Amino acid sequence: MNASIIRRYGDTDFITGLRAIAATMVVAFHCSIFREFGQIGENVTEAGRYGVQVFFVISGFTIAATYLGAPSYLSYLVRRLMRIAPVYFFVIGAAIALTVAGVITGTGWSARFGVETDAYNLLMHLTFMSFWDYKIANSLIGVEWTIPVEVFWYVILPWVIARAVGVRKAVIFMVGLAALAFATILIGAQLGPSLISEWFPTTYGPYFLLGVLTYKLRSSTQMIGRETMAFWGGVAIFLFACVAAPVMTGAWVGVATALIIVGHRSSGGVSILTTTPLLFAGSISYSIYLWHALVVRYFALPESFPGYLEFLVVFGVTLVLSVPTYLLVEKPTNRWGAVIAKSPAVLKRQAA
């Protein structure tokens, strides 16, 4: 079973291991895993929310690899959308069905904003435009706000990649995206709830571009002999961010992720990021990310229930749901995406 589940990417298998860590962080956060263990426990638990930043940096890396290796923008975009959309739609459907049947309660966000699962809400989700309305952005699954953010950068980032050539231009684009993120936060603060900017794509542009830069740096001769320092520096920064909870923890985690990606090299030895458990969980990490929010809502365990036990229960059940979803939905639709991207219809449009 493991052999049919685990994805293999050669010398970038460790990216799959990072995905496993990112997904586990988010589940741990939603289960308040270490809430009983004092301030450090609270810091580590809170750091789990920044698993999203790990995903965003990885996405930037993957977008660069996929786009630069594709015959055209359209072919690239078809593969990216088929990678993310089918499972997203499937879990949205499951969430709505389970909520209507009374098996799970609605999301806390839908209750907070009095949101209904109406045609408007569903249309905005299915078109990946829900980030325009913070009241509905997280109202169906409870963690889906990140998916439209990903799709936004799937569409936009290739334009940046084509122009951010050379160190000088890359720095200019990074400064520009950082300024845009800052402006988004300021405008959101003026308009109302922080969620306006917190769930808006332009807030996270620097993380995606950081991922692109890691892709380019991995093939740069400038990194020869410096990989070990970058990797362990990234690990140290990551641990510091999780334990100490510094200001702008998400940025620390993003930089740490980038350094780990840039510095990781397979030397034939054993790497913790390419061990079988991490490769297994990382291969199904997308399903884990989407399903776990529904599992948390199903159990609705009280605050008095130990966080670490809640995590074990939620993660275990989520794995049971994620494996068949990966095998029956995610894996086949990924293959279809690859076929469609190379189909005569797409290639004809590319030529035109």
C-alpha distances (whole Å) from 149 to each of 122, 182, 306 are: 17, 16, 33
pTM: 0.94
CB of 237 closer than 8 Å to CB of 259 = yes
Q: How far apart are CA 228 and CA 259, in angstroms?
A: 10
Per-residue confidence (pLDDT) for residue 347, from 0 to 100: 60
Could you say which residues of the chain have pLDDT below 50? 1, 267-269, 351-352
Q: How far apart are CA 48 and CA 34, in angstroms?
A: 11
Q: How far apart are CA 117 and CA 144, in angstroms?
A: 14
Per-residue confidence (pLDDT) for residue 161, from 0 to 100: 94
Per-residue confidence (pLDDT) for residue 269, from 0 to 100: 47
Per-residue confidence (pLDDT) for residue 266, from 0 to 100: 56
CB of 75 closer than 8 Å to CB of 350 = yes
Residue 352, classed as helix, strand or coil, is coil
Per-residue confidence (pLDDT) for residue 118, from 0 to 100: 95
6 by Cβ neighbours in 10 Å (0-12 / 13-18 / 19+) ranks as middle
Measuring CA to CA, which residue among 30, 25, 107 is closest to residue 285?
25
Q: How far apart are CA 263 and CA 342, in angstroms?
A: 33
251 by Cβ neighbours in 10 Å (0-12 / 13-18 / 19+) ranks as middle
Per-residue confidence (pLDDT) for residue 343, from 0 to 100: 77
Structure tokens, 313 = 């229960």
Per-residue confidence (pLDDT) for residue 90, from 0 to 100: 98
Measuring CA to CA, which residue among 211, 150, 205, 213 is closest to residue 178?
205
